Structure 1
């Protein structure tokens, strides 16, 4: 290492190094920096759910020099062994291994918990982690129902924990720049907004018979509070997101990311009413339960927002596979993960040529979280639990409108809809001896 490089690292806060360089830090350099961190300053991470985004979140968080993985938990021995091998490549520390998340929460070396499990587990694991005195990084959507989301907000407040949701777009500079432009007033009055995801390349999920539980899988723990069912590979691992017991389909998978940006840009709260249409149009006979085609319309009083998703094609609105549109009287701002632009209305404002994204949102997001874990300044979180709750609730409202086939309005004081069938979908019934958290 050069002398200038040594001086730079020596005179720069470790978190600042991670924040400024992100993935540019070579792993060997990162490992050498970690060795200089005092044991008293290290932050122990416990990961619950090791396969998909949980692993991505951990890998990203370990780029912050103060962090170390001290514990991992998963219900699948195959995934555990795979990820332990992956972890050994980036960290010499061997973590404690669990298949029951409650035992991980008893580990006093765990300061921070990553919840990377299917949606139906988020509420229990996040609230239990808060009660155990841990700070939490929870994957999106915050939970699988409106009532669970509300309890998670209460738990974070009750136990005074730092909770960040994995809506990492909020940490990307081009999203911040686009929202600033929206709020500058240059677009004029914005009465219409759009969000969409056209997931081209999807294929049918074939109907398959139930089968024995794979070796090394604790299927009872995987089900947790969800309805007891025979094992079926279609409902396991990645595919869980297409079944109501565990998730909400594309609306809660992608919708929370995109709708979140509209709520931020418009400084909006809960919608006055929601109506939706959708169903199994693209693959009518496949195994999925959630809609493969859906259109939802939200009325916020002073503007409307639409959500569309379609598994049939990757050519979406404005010729963008996914995106957000703020449609103002002076022009339209278009935005997605790749960048943003402004298209003027009859030359009322200057066009803004496409501004490309140049940073790593996930690394910025996890670095922000660890910084707040250290500072205890909750106001610095890029996606605090309250913000994550707002968009999760909006997304669940869209699904509830589609499932009931009725226009629904939310009564905040009564915590219910004006349609009885919709209200029945607000609060889940926990199964298998698990208790729904209530605060």
Structure 2
């Protein structure tokens, strides 16, 4: 993570293109990786990378000193540490992994693409609907690979589920139920931190100036300046699977009933019922952030069968088969999809093929969440495109 641009950062950025890597990579070559945003999600990404390598962390940028130091230690002391992410882009790296807060995603990705780096960009790839066009243009104007952090696209049983749906095995799918429950009272309690080691102003970047808040730093997803709540975080994973399976990626209208029942200090609601209408089918989402029983998943309900799907596996239940407790098909997950997704990214860096989660998929998934949030902000319902703009 870095900060609002100044003259020095523009000068650094302006000279980046000439430093883009021109290496021709072989299958066994060690990839040189830059890390931008080194918090918890980045640790997960690097854990996945460790299992697929070979790679070397060349440089790391974060506005919190202990995060930079942890990645340097992880690299056996080889990685250089930086406050300004442009300095990572000025290094001779093949690709960067970006896991900063949402409000930084497009700016960092566009700068990285312009510097000739391949990019793994965490979801949601945009913070606003308007940013989608900016990101798409940057990807298509470059020769770089951009993998969106939507790992279901590389997860074996999700891929098999999509194949079943597209083959017509469920009949006509009319409704998709999605859900995700988490408990922030238990699992997301803010941890003590060395406040003096954080550059808060640089963390804010282009967001409105505001006093430091541990709650905002730690739970940034739940404040409009930095994230979009559950609809651009959790829901974006599931709606991407829906778009992929149903071959439709933009809702015609959205409704959202939501409240702040538990975390009144947040901007974003903690308890949500949402519905999005697509051509020929509906998608519903429900979730809350103070109950974790059942976790998250999807149900594709067709005229012939229902497919229930989550990160642990999938099951298919046939209409007319006596017991719903006896699925006609079951598949369990054997590997975290993030590992396979990182493998796909590393492979595409070398092959120059399109990755499993291309930019259009990431933009569409984020857009659906943004549209639902717009419905929430506009009395609970919105048509899309808004009337008068089509």
Fold in common (TM above 0.5): yes
Matches within 5 A, 1:228-243: 228-236=209-217, 238-243=218-223
Tell me whether 1:159 sits opposite 2:174 in the alignment. Answer: no
Choose which of 234, 237, 243 in structure 2 pairs with 1:254.
234
SS at match of 1:334: strand
1:106 paired residue number: 90
Tell me whether 1:355 sits opposite 2:331 in the alignment. Answer: yes
CA separation of 1:371 and 1:38: change in aligned 2, threshold 3 A: closer
The answer to whether the 8 Å contact 1:187/1:332 transfers is yes
TM-score normalised per structure 1: 0.77
Q: Which moved more, 1:181-190 or 1:334-343?
A: 181-190
Tell me whether 1:169 sits opposite 2:149 in the alignment. Answer: no
RMSD, aligned CA:
2.7
Q: Which moved more, 1:401-410 or 1:176-185?
A: 401-410
The answer to whether the 8 Å contact 1:62/1:69 transfers is no
Choose which of 175, 199, 223 in structure 2 pairs with 1:218.
199
Choose which of 265, 270, 273 in structure 2 pairs with 1:292.
270
1:386 paired residue number: 360
Number of equivalences: 362
Tell me whether 1:271 sits opposite 2:251 in the alignment. Answer: yes
Matches within 5 A, 1:45-64: 45-64=33-52
For residues 387 and 39 of structure 1, the distance between their equivalents in structure 2, rounded to whole angstroms, comes to 27
Tell me whether 1:402 sits opposite 2:376 in the alignment. Answer: yes
For residues 119 and 191 of structure 1, the distance between their equivalents in structure 2, rounded to whole angstroms, comes to 32
Q: Which moved more, 1:75-84 or 1:327-336?
A: 75-84
For residues 301 and 38 of structure 1, the distance between their equivalents in structure 2, rounded to whole angstroms, comes to 44
The answer to whether the 8 Å contact 2:72/2:81 transfers is no
Q: Which moved more, 1:170-179 or 1:63-72?
A: 63-72
- Deviation at 1:66? 3.7
- Deviation at 1:419? 8.4
For residues 119 and 166 of structure 1, the distance between their equivalents in structure 2, rounded to whole angstroms, comes to 12
CA separation of 1:44 and 1:303: change in aligned 2, threshold 3 A: same
Unmatched tracts of structure 1, length 5 or more: 1-36, 412-416, 424-439
2:119 paired residue number: 136
Tell me whether 1:311 sits opposite 2:280 in the alignment. Answer: no
SS at match of 1:230: coil
- Deviation at 1:262? 1.0
SS at match of 2:321: coil
SS at match of 2:127: coil
Tell me whether 1:418 sits opposite 2:383 in the alignment. Answer: no
2:55 paired residue number: 67
The answer to whether the 8 Å contact 2:254/2:375 transfers is yes
CA separation of 1:38 and 1:287: change in aligned 2, threshold 3 A: same
CA separation of 1:233 and 1:113: change in aligned 2, threshold 3 A: same
Choose which of 177, 193, 201 in structure 1 pairs with 2:176.
193
1:370 paired residue number: 346
TM-score normalised per structure 2: 0.86
Instruction: Tell which structure's C-alpha radius of gyration is larger.
Output: 1
For residues 274 and 146 of structure 1, the distance between their equivalents in structure 2, rounded to whole angstroms, comes to 15
The answer to whether the 8 Å contact 2:155/2:337 transfers is yes
Tell me whether 1:95 sits opposite 2:79 in the alignment. Answer: yes
SS at match of 1:215: helix
